Structure 1
Amino acid sequence: MFKKLAFALSCAVVFSLTSASAQNSNLEKLGGFKTTGTPMMEPIPQTGENAEALKAIAAKIKVPEGFKVSLYAIVPDARHMAVGPQGVVTFVGTRKELVYSMTDRDKNRVADDVKVFAPSIKMAVPNGVCFSRDGHLYLAEQNRVLWFPAAEFFYEGPDVAAFAIVKEGELIPASNESYNHTARTCRVGPDGRIYITIGQPFNVPAPEVLPEFQRLGIGGIISMKQDGSDRKIYARGMRNPLGLDFNPKDKTIWVNDNQVDGMGDTIPPGEMNHVTGPDQNFGFPWYGGGKTRTNEYKDATVPDGVIFPAVEQDAHAADLGLSFYTGKQFPEKYRGGIFSTQHGSWNRVEPVGARVMFTSLKADGSADKTEVFAEGWLSEDGEYLGRPVDVQVLNDGSLLVSDDLAGAVWRISYGTK
């Protein structure tokens, strides 16, 4: 029996290595504009019992008067999203191995075609998707960055032009890979550079690892040219930064950062940080969130110039996605403000989160007030009906909200649109 087991295990290892080799070969073929022989994945069904159950959840979400929530698409494990500049397709990343495309062909504001994007490429935590203004799609995986130069127009088939601008194992050293805080997000900035968040793997890291983390930009934001060159560290002192966006008015970055666990239900606060220029430090691990010192670094000297959060969020609400509202469908109050998501707590005795928040800005570009915009994914009984991840503005001015628990993308619209 043991011989049979050993043979089976050896076959499994050979298959795994062969599969990985084939996937690497596929990426090379796609870069050479050659076919891979990969069959097209079947579309995800958008009707049936699952769709009806999700519509029932949408009906329970509370939003301000005049707004409504509807089911836009069924997308398994839906995480961060990128809306195509031409309004043709929206891409949805996951924390697993797949990226999905959503297409609303009849423009009734419901996706009628959802399928796997680039199925011939083996991916690892393909969470972060972002577009340049001229239609180039970038994908930040756990430890690689891919470039799809014409994804919005060549996404229908299994093969699409694809290139690794940061090769596997070169976004961070392989020795720093972890199962924790592996999801990256990205944005192409007004300067044409790609900005990528990189979380550090620990709750609170040991002092001996900090020099390497700071040198590599782990626990912060890095930037690079669109060909992957000229990598620079843009911001430091973050624990697990996720959603980020640029204020269209002053071109500064706003980013959510998830803070230290295990300090209690109500501390430390989550952070929405305002990055006004390069080389700024936002205080982690000396601070666990806001001005709350970590136990591990309570006696350590804090670096000069630490910047405290622009907005302190509810502790452990897990603030993730963040987008400036650039549409015109919503009332004036919301234009130019920030919509963000709370994924929901996992280690609080009293759960909190699973909401979409709105932060208005003052005339000088600083944060004004933060309020709940959409809630109801966390029931009164403490059961999560969904966990919002990302929020993006659709071309018609409505909001898309991804949800990796429900496996859905919700649409929030105003009026009759």
Structure 2
Amino acid sequence: MFYSLFILCLVSFWSCDSKAQSKQNNEYEALLERINLPEGFEISYYATNVIDARSLARTEDGKTVFVSNRRRKNVYALTDTNGDMVADKVDTILTGWNSPNGIAYRNGDLYVAEINRIHRFPSIMENLSDPKSEVIYDQYPTDGHHGWKFIAFGPDGKLYVPVGAPCNVCDKEEENPVYATITRMDPDGSNMEIYAKGVRNSVGFTWNPKTNNMWFTDNGRDLMGDDIPACELNFAPKAGMHFGFPYWHQGDIPDKEFGKKYPRDKFTEPAYKFEPHSAPLGLRFYEGNMFPAKYKNNIIVAQHGSWDRTPDAGHIGYQLRFVQIENDKVVKSEIFADGWLDTENNKGWGKPVDIMEMPDGSILVSDDVNHCIYRITYKK
């Protein structure tokens, strides 16, 4: 009798667990139907239940994808073991670190950026079960405000690392010239230098595959109103350029406190102005052959979405945007994917963060609110 009851309870537990998982899967799939894409494109999940999924990096063959999160303080390796383009194995690379938002992969090594330090995990794929890291640089400021980092290797082989302003708007250049900049260093952490100045908070940069020139996003200051200033897409083809913060916003709006310090023409204006407070983060030049020809060598940007617009103005962003580039100029821009914003309730159920192209030409998109990684494909 006791044994029969035990088996009955066990079967009941498995049944309930299975039903709960099935319900969760159905809810996940239903959310995909809300996302709007151009004709011929499809969206699916590469991975679900990836809490606060942020920055993305991958191995050369694309079989393993690294994903970070800054709030949960973890970095994971997600592996597709059977080649169906869905991750089915998870390894924890690290946990409990100080906002390890930035990750990059190069020549077999994984690089991870905390707020004030850069780590390297040598030969990471050979050491997934017992990863060991070494600190290659530890001289960045410790400020938490805009302190989390996006990192990436440029065509010059250097690691690029932003240092956000430790405030909404402030002039810290004399106190520490590294504030509000994008820096770069050699892969071993040596020869750190400032590449670009006047950058309030960049959480994404990329390089044109045809010219090797840098493009980066920058989030505009808060508390100037619902409709100003615009967030920015900036073009930085050489070192030493200054993009205006904190003196001029979106290229043509002087800051009330600091704007009189320098004339407008001292700074480089944005190449493109995004919607105010739309929070553009990760971006990539599309280099694959899966998508239609118009996307080739042009930019797709993740706009994370606003947080500080008034209810009457409504939230904005929560989408992917396509930006067409010709001769280092923006000639066209249009929404590539949206639907993550529930406009009726003025609430985002998902927020795109980073974009990464896979070897087959599909793209992955991380989402730190729906806690997943999407895969977008195109069928002719």
State the partner residue of 2:300.
339
Specify which of 53, 61, 77 is matched with residue 78 of structure 1.
53
Unaligned runs of 5+ in 2: 1-19
Specify which of 120, 132, 151 is matched with residue 147 of structure 1.
120
Conserved in 2, the CA contact under 8 Å of 1:400 and 1:412? Answer: yes
1:162 aligns with 2:133: yes
Q: Which amino acid aligns with 2:135?
A: A
TM-score (norm 2): 0.90
Specify which of 324, 334, 337 is matched with residue 371 of structure 1.
334
Q: Which amino acid aligns with 1:377?
A: W
Q: Could you give the per-residue CA deviations for residues 30-56 of structure 1, whole angstroms, max 9, x where no partner exists?
A: xxxxxxxxxxxxxxxx96433332221
Q: Distance in 2 between matches of 1:288 and 1:252?
A: 23
After superposition, the Cα gap between the structure-2 partners of 1:192 and 1:60, relative to the gap in structure 1 and judged at 3 Å, is same
1:207-356 aligned at under 5 Å gives the runs: 207=171, 209-214=172-177, 217-302=178-263, 305-349=266-310, 350-356=314-320
Q: Which amino acid aligns with 1:109?
A: M
Count of aligned positions: 355
1:55 aligns with 2:29: yes
Conserved in 1, the CA contact under 8 Å of 2:254 and 2:260? Answer: no
After superposition, the Cα gap between the structure-2 partners of 1:358 and 1:213, relative to the gap in structure 1 and judged at 3 Å, is farther
Q: Distance in 2 between matches of 1:164 and 1:304?
A: 40
The answer to which structure has the higher strand fraction is 2
Q: Which amino acid aligns with 1:100?
A: Y
Conserved in 1, the CA contact under 8 Å of 2:251 and 2:264? Answer: no
Q: Distance in 1 between matches of 2:213 and 2:108?
A: 22
After superposition, the Cα gap between the structure-2 partners of 1:401 and 1:370, relative to the gap in structure 1 and judged at 3 Å, is same
Alpha-carbon distance, 1:152 to partner: 3.2
Alpha-carbon distance, 1:258 to partner: 0.3
State the partner residue of 1:29.
none
State the partner residue of 1:116.
92
1:64 aligns with 2:29: no
SS at match of 1:212: coil
Q: Distance in 1 between matches of 2:24 and 2:201?
A: 33
Q: Could you give the per-residue CA deviations for residues 143-166 of structure 1, whole angstroms, max 9, x where no partner exists?
A: 1101112123432x1x12321101
Q: Which amino acid aligns with 1:337?
A: N
Q: Distance in 1 between matches of 2:123 and 2:333?
A: 37
1:187 aligns with 2:145: no
Q: Which amino acid aligns with 2:109?
A: H
Q: Distance in 2 between matches of 1:338 and 1:94?
A: 24
Tell me the percent identity: 36
CA RMSD of aligned residues (A): 1.7
Q: Could you give the per-residue CA deviations for residues 353-408 of structure 1, whole angstroms, max 9, x where no partner exists?
A: 1001111111x132221110000000121121101111111121111110001111
Q: Distance in 2 between matches of 1:104 and 1:309?
A: 39
Q: Distance in 2 between matches of 1:303 and 1:383?
A: 37
Q: Distance in 2 between matches of 1:114 and 1:59?
A: 27
TM-score (norm 1): 0.82
Alpha-carbon distance, 1:337 to partner: 0.5
Q: Could you give the per-residue CA deviations for residues 251-279 of structure 1, whole angstroms, max 9, x where no partner exists?
A: 11111000011111111111010101001
1:405 aligns with 2:369: yes
1:107 aligns with 2:79: no
Q: Could you give the per-residue CA deviations for residues 172-200 of structure 1, whole angstroms, max 9, x where no partner exists?
A: 2x4xx23x212201111111111111111
Conserved in 1, the CA contact under 8 Å of 2:74 and 2:100? Answer: yes
Alpha-carbon distance, 1:248 to partner: 1.4
Unaligned runs of 5+ in 1: 1-45
Alpha-carbon distance, 1:330 to partner: 0.6
Q: Distance in 1 between matches of 2:343 and 2:366?
A: 22
State which drifts further: 60-69 or 103-112: 103-112
Q: Which amino acid aligns with 1:50?
A: Q
Conserved in 2, the CA contact under 8 Å of 1:150 and 1:161? Answer: no
State the partner residue of 1:135.
108
Q: Distance in 1 between matches of 2:331 and 2:88?
A: 39
Specify which of 197, 213, 216 is matched with residue 162 of structure 2.
197
After superposition, the Cα gap between the structure-2 partners of 1:88 and 1:47, relative to the gap in structure 1 and judged at 3 Å, is farther
Q: Which amino acid aligns with 1:142?
A: I
After superposition, the Cα gap between the structure-2 partners of 1:369 and 1:108, relative to the gap in structure 1 and judged at 3 Å, is same
Conserved in 2, the CA contact under 8 Å of 1:271 and 1:290? Answer: no
Q: Distance in 2 between matches of 1:47 and 1:128?
A: 31
State which drifts further: 189-198 or 230-239: 189-198
